[in-house]
Amino acid sequence: MTPGTSTTGTGSPLPVDVGADVHEAILTAERPALTPAPRAEAVLVPPVVLSLAATLGTGFLDHAFTGVHGAHLVLGTLVVTFLALLPNAVILTWARAHGSRAGFFVAPAVGVVFAAVGAGLVPGPDAHPVALAGACVLGFLAPLLWRPWQDRWMEKRVERVSLLAPSVLAAADAIERLEVVPWIRVLSVLVPEGDAEVAGRLLKRPVARAPRGGPRLERRVIVSCPMRDPAVGRSIAELVARGHDLTSESATLRRAEGRVDVGRADPLNILLGRPRSRWLDAS
């Protein structure tokens, strides 16, 4: 048994026996893995662009075959395209999440029904069958295409960063944690007062001992140093003087999860993580 201490309401310590199995459970407890939140632009831009393209395509077909124009064309196009696109987007999203193949066959059928009902509700001449069919096809294809576009956006819009850590072991641990974020690539490491050659073989990345005179460091540098370290402090000062944008590992991981933790303010991120301004630097 491992003795511990506890406190009563008056603050006096009381001995508490904590078993070895409790210590083992604490050390081996599985912590939830990082679940990076997708970027807002990767989520919004593909659906908006493809939905707009589907609307313009439907309007072009309706105008080409019926000759209508003006407010009736705009209203009919918006209603038919929206009613064809909405059920397809909802059902296809559900089908992907649940691995249902039937959803990919149900979605276009429901989209046709919704588009036909919407075309009958619009006052004025009915939409041409070709335009109605085009709205159904485009409404089905748009949700199918914007998901691969979102995935490619996430893969290509990577952030190339450098890492500043007090030791090689700390750098290796930080790289392992940062690799969970799909858009972050640690290309180089700065370990002050370390053996750059040995560290490079261990980390499989270029390693520098100082901001100057070593491998090229990226403009954005992530600092992983929970304890005060004089060498890391000197490196931070020199990196700021050289125009690098600095942020901390904890702030990077919180941002990747889509969280803003105001209860754990990060001084380094508050002071140095904001984009640099040449006007402010000049002033």
Write the DSSP assignment of 216-258 as a string of letters: PPPSEEEE--SS--HHHHHHHHHHHHTT-EEEEHHHHHHHHTT
| C-alpha dihedral (200, 205, 206, 210), degrees to nearest 10 | -80
- Provide the β-strand partners of residue 225: none
By the 8 A CB rule, do 106 and 91 touch?
yes
By the 8 A CB rule, do 154 and 182 touch?
yes
Give the mean model confidence (pLDDT) for residues 33-44. 63
Helix (H) or strand (E) holding 62: helix 40-66
165-223 pLDDT, tens digit each: 988 888 898 988 888 887 788 999 998 877 888 888 888 889 888 888 778 888 899 99
73-109 pLDDT, tens digit each: 888 888 888 999 999 999 998 888 888 888 889 998 9
pLDDT(118) > 50: yes
Give the mean model confidence (pLDDT) for residues 145-149. 86
Residues 227 and 157: their CA atoms lie apart, in Å, by 32
By the 8 A CB rule, do 1 and 18 touch?
yes
239-258 pLDDT, tens digit each: 998 889 898 888 888 777 66
pLDDT band at 122 (very low <50, low <70, confident <90, very high): confident
* Predicted local distance difference test score (pLDDT) of residue 149: 86
* Predicted local distance difference test score (pLDDT) of residue 12: 47
* Predicted local distance difference test score (pLDDT) of residue 222: 92
pLDDT(61) > 70: yes
What mean pLDDT value characterizes the chain?
A: 77
pLDDT(5) > 60: no
CATH, domain 159-282, list 3.30.70, 3.30.429, 2.60.120, 3.40.50: 3.40.50
- Provide the β-strand partners of residue 278: none
Q: Where are the domains of the chain?
A: 40-155, 159-282
pLDDT band at 162 (very low <50, low <70, confident <90, very high): very high
Give the mean model confidence (pLDDT) for residues 47-60. 91
